C-alpha cells in the first residue's frame, strides 16, 4: 500500500505495521519519538493525520491509507522555525524528546481555532502528553509566544547552564525542540539489526532485522496498570518519634527509554545522548550489550528497551522509612543501595541509617537526589520551615506554597551571565519543582511486597503530574558571584519540603494520588 507523508508517497510493505514503525523505520523520520510504544500514553509519537493530531504508535498504518500524514518535519520552514524559536525562547524544551509531538498537537489545536492567550486550552490539549523535564509551564509559555517569540540568541553560558542542570552535555536552541537533539536511537544506521530483551530468558536478547520483528519474536506483551494497592515497603523504626515518614517505590520516569547502538569494533553510543534521565540510566546495560552483539553478528546492532523493560530493569529511587526527633536524631531505614547511607548522612549526620533488604526492582543512589532530598525534607520538617536547602551540586534553594497552590522558588546558582542562561535556569528549576511536588503528592510504583514484581507498567501509572495538575511556579534568581553551579536539584528538595509542610506532614508519600 501507499501512504503520503509530508507530501511524498511512500510504499509500505507490511500493512500490519504501526504508523510509528513505518515513520521511523521505513521513512527515516526520527523526529517521531517512541516513549511508550505501544501504550499510546506519552504523546511523543504524535503526528498529524489530515491535520488532526494522532498518536502514531497505536495507529495501524492500514488506517491511514489515502490520508495526509504530517510530522513536525513537514510543517513548512516558517512554521517549524516559529515553533522552534517559541520553545527555545521560553525554555519549553530541555531534552527535546516530547516536544515534536507537542508541536504537532499545538498545530492541531491552532487548526481548531485555539487562542494563543488561552493557557487553559493548551493545558487541556496536553492531556495526551507527558513531559518530565520542564514542569509544563514553559511549554505552555511556548504556545502563548507563538508565532512571534522573543528573539533567540543561544549563548555559551546557556549551553553551559543546560549541562550543569541536566548533568550531561545537552543542546540548547530551536533544533532541540524540533527533535534534532541527537538521541541514541536516532543516530543508528538504517541497516542496523535490532535487539530487544528476551522476557523468557534473563540476560538473553532477541535480534532481528526490524524492531517489530524482534518484539514479535520475543513475544512481548503490553504492560498494564494495576488496580492493586500496596503499602510502603519499609516499616517505620520503633520509637516515640516527633516525625515519621514512609516513601514508596518511585520510577524516574524519563521519556526516552534506554537505547544504544554499536558497529563492530567501535564504541557504543551513550544512552545519555541528549538527556541525563535523572540518573536512571547511569548504570544501563544497553551500551555494553550493543558492543557485544555487534561483535557477535558482525553488523551494527541497535539495543532498545520497550517501556516495560525500562520499568522492570531500570534503577528506582530507594524507598525509606524514618523516625526523627526535632533535634535531628533518629533512625532511617532504607533499601540497600550502594552510596545511599552517605547520601542521607550528609544531611542528617545525627541519624542512624540502617540498610534493609526488600524484594523489588534495582535501586540506585544516582537517581536524582536519592537519599539527600528525603533527608533534606526531614530536616526541614524538624525545624518547622523550609529554609535554604543546599545540594551536593553546590546550589541552594527555598520554596513556599501560596494559598492558591502556586509555588514561589528562589535559587542561588552562582553567576548567571545573560538572559538566555536565565531562561534555561528557570526552565530546569520549574522542572525540578514539578518533580519535587510529584514526589510528595502523587508518584508511586506498585511493587508486590512478596516477590518484588512490578504491577504498574504503563507510563501513566507512575503518577507524574499532568499539565492540568501543575500549579503556577515562579522562580526568582538571586544575584550571586562565583562560578555557576547546579541549582535545580536543590529546588526539587525545597519544593518537596514545602509540599510536605503544606500538607501538615502526613506519615507517608504520596500524600494523594491523581
Q: What pLDDT, in 10s, does the model give residues 68-89?
A: 999 999 999 999 999 999 999 9
> Quick one: what percent of the chain has pLDDT higher than 90?
93
pLDDT, average across residues 276-300: 96
Q: What pLDDT, in 10s, does the model give residues 151-178?
A: 789 999 999 999 999 999 889 999 999 9
pLDDT, average across residues 100-116: 97
Q: Is the pLDDT of residue 364 over 70?
A: yes
pLDDT, average across residues 103-117: 96
**Contact of 334 with 354, CB cutoff 8 Å:** yes
**Contact of 311 with 401, CB cutoff 8 Å:** no
CA 9 to CA 414: how far, in whole Å? 53
pLDDT at 273: 84
**Which of 412, 403, 400 shows the shortest CA–CA distance to 437?**
400
CA 99 to CA 104: how far, in whole Å? 9
- Lowest mean pLDDT of 219-233, 346-360, 467-481, name the range: 219-233
Neighbours of 433 (CB within 10 A): 30
pLDDT at 512: 83
> Quick one: what percent of the chain has pLDDT higher than 70?
100
The domains of the chain, with CATH numbers, are: 1-180 (3.10.20.30), 187-221+258-304 (no CATH), 320-502 (3.30.365)
**Contact of 144 with 466, CB cutoff 8 Å:** no
**Which of 302, 322, 306 shows the shortest CA–CA distance to 314?**
306
pLDDT at 369: 97
pLDDT, average across residues 366-387: 98
Q: Is the pLDDT of residue 245 over 60?
A: yes
DSSP 106-168: HHHHHHTT--TT-HHHHHHHGGG---SSS-SHHHHHHHHHTTSPPP----HHHHHHHHHHHSS
**Which of 64, 62, 80, 63 shows the shortest CA–CA distance to 72?**
80
Q: Is the pLDDT of residue 188 over 50?
A: yes
With H, G, I as helix, E, B as strand and everything else as coil, classify residue 69: strand
Distances (CA, A) of 119 to 97, 160, 270, 396, 467: 22, 31, 37, 30, 10
Q: pLDDT band at residue 336, thresholds of 50, 70 and 90?
A: very high
CA 136 to CA 471: how far, in whole Å? 9
Q: Is the pLDDT of residue 398 over 60?
A: yes
With H, G, I as helix, E, B as strand and everything else as coil, classify residue 48: strand
Q: Is the pLDDT of residue 513 over 60?
A: no
pLDDT at 514: 42
pLDDT at 210: 93
The helix-helix angle for 137-145 and 419-441 (nearest 10°) equals: 130
Cis amide bond preceding 38, omega within 30: yes
pLDDT at 235: 97
pLDDT, average across residues 206-230: 90
Which helix (H) or strand (E) covers residue 377, if one does? helix 372-383
DSSP structural state of residue 61:
G
With H, G, I as helix, E, B as strand and everything else as coil, classify residue 493: helix
Q: What pLDDT, in 10s, does the model give residues 227-239?
A: 888 999 999 999 9
DSSP 227-247: ------SSPPPSS--SEEEE-
CA 302 to CA 196: how far, in whole Å? 9
pLDDT: which is higher, 446 or 225: 446
**Contact of 495 with 470, CB cutoff 8 Å:** no
The chain-wide mean pLDDT, for the chain, equals 95
Q: What pLDDT, in 10s, does the model give residues 415-436?
A: 999 999 999 999 999 999 999 9
Query: Which residues sit opposite 396 in a β-bridge?
Result: 390, 412
Nine-digit cell string for 494: 525545597
The helix-helix angle for 419-441 and 77-90 (nearest 10°) equals: 70
DSSP 383-440: HTS---EE-TTB-EEEEEE-TTS-EEEEEE-S---SHHHHHHHHHHHHHHHHHHHHHH
Classify each residue of 43-72 as buried b or exposed e, where b means 16 or more C-beta atoms within 10 Å of its C-beta.
bbbbbbbeeebbbbbbbebeebeeeebbbb
Give the sign of the dihedral formed by CA 320, CA 326, CA 328, CA 330. negative
Amino acid at each position: 500500500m501507499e501512504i503520503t507523508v509530508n507530501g511524498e508517497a511512500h510504499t509500505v510493505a507490511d500493512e500490519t505495521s504501526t504508523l510509528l514503525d513505518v515513520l521511523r523505520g521505513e521513512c527515516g523520520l526520527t523526529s517521531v519519538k517512541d516513549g511508550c510504544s505501544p501504550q499510546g500514553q506519552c504523546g511523543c509519537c504524535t503526528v498529524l493525520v489530515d491535520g488532526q493530531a494522532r498518536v502514531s504508535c497505536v495507529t495501524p498504518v492500514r488506517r491511514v491509507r489515502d490520508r495526509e500524514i504530517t510530522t513536525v518535519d513537514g510543517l513548512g520552514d516558517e512554521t517549524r522555525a516559529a515553533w522552534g524559536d517559541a520553545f527555545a525562547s521560553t525554555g519549553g524544551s530541555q531534552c527535546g524528546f516530547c516536544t515534536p509531538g507537542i508541536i504537532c498537537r499545538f498545530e492541531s489545536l491552532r487548526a481548531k481555532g485555539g487562542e494563543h492567550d488561552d493557557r487553559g486550552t493548551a493545558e487541556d490539549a496536553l492531556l495526551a502528553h507527558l513531559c518530565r523535564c520542564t514542569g509544563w509551564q514553559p511549554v505552555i509559555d511556548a504556545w502563548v509566544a507563538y508565532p512571534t517569540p522573543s528573539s533567540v540568541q543561544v549563548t555559551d553560558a546557556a549551553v553551559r547552564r543546560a549541562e550543569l542542570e541536566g548533568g550531561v552535555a545537552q543542546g540548547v536552541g530551536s533544533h532541540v525542540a524540533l527533535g534534532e537533539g541527537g538521541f541514541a536511537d536516532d543516530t543508528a544506521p538504517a541497516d542496523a539489526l535490532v535487539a530487544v530483551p528476551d522476557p523468557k530468558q534473563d540476560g538473553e536478547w532477541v535480534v532481528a532485522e526490524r524492531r517489530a520483528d524482534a518484539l514479535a519474536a520475543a513475544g512481548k506483551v503490553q504492560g498494564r496498570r494495576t488496580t492493586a494497592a500496596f503499602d510502603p515497603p519499609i516499616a517505620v523504626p520503633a520509637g516515640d518519634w516527633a516525625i515519621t515518614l514512609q516513601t514508596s517505590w518511585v520510577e524516574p520516569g524519563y521519556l526516552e527509554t534506554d537505547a544504544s547502538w554499536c558497529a563492530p569494533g567501535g564504541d557504543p553510543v551513550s544512552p545519555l545522548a541528549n538527556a541525563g534521565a535523572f540518573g536512571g540510566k547511569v548504570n544501563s546495560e544497553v551500551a555494553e550489550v550493543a558492543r557485544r552483539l555487534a561483535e557477535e553478528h558482525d553488523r551494527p546492532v541497535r539495543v532498545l528497551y520497550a517501556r516495560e523493560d525500562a520499568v522492570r530493569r531500570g534503577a528506582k529511587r530507594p524507598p525509606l522509612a524514618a523516625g526523627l526527633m526535632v533535634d535531628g536524631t533518629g533512625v532511617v531505614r532504607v533499601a540497600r543501595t550502594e552510596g545511599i547511607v552517605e547520601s542521607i548522612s550528609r544531611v542528617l549526620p545525627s541519624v542512624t541509617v540502617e540498610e534493609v533488604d526488600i524484594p523489588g526492582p534495582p535501586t540506585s543512589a544516582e537517581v536524582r537526589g536519592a537519599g539527600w532530598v528525603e533527608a533534606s525534607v526531614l530536616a526541614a520538617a524538624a525545624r518547622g520551615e523550609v529554609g535554604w536547602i543546599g545540594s551536593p551540586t553546590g546550589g541552594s534553594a527555598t520554596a513556599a506554597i501560596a494559598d492558591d497552590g502556586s509555588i514561589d522558588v528562589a535559587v542561588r546558582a552562582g553567576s548567571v551571565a545573560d538572559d538566555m542562561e536565565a531562561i534555561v535556569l528557570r526552565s530546569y528549576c520549574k522542572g525540578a519543582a514539578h518533580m519535587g511536588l510529584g514526589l510528595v503528592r502523587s508518584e508511586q510504583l506498585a511493587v508486590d511486597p512478596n516477590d518484588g514484581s512490578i504491577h504498574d507498567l504503563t507510563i501513566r501509572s507512575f503518577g507524574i503530574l499532568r499539565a492540568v495538575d501543575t500549579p503556577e511556579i515562579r522562580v526568582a534568581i538571586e544575584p550571586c558571584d562565583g562560578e555557576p553551579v547546579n541549582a535545580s536539584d536543590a529546588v526539587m528538595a525545597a519544593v518537596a519540603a514545602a509540599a510536605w509542610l503544606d500538607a501538615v506532614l502526613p506519615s507517608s508519600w504520596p500524600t494523594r494520588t491523581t
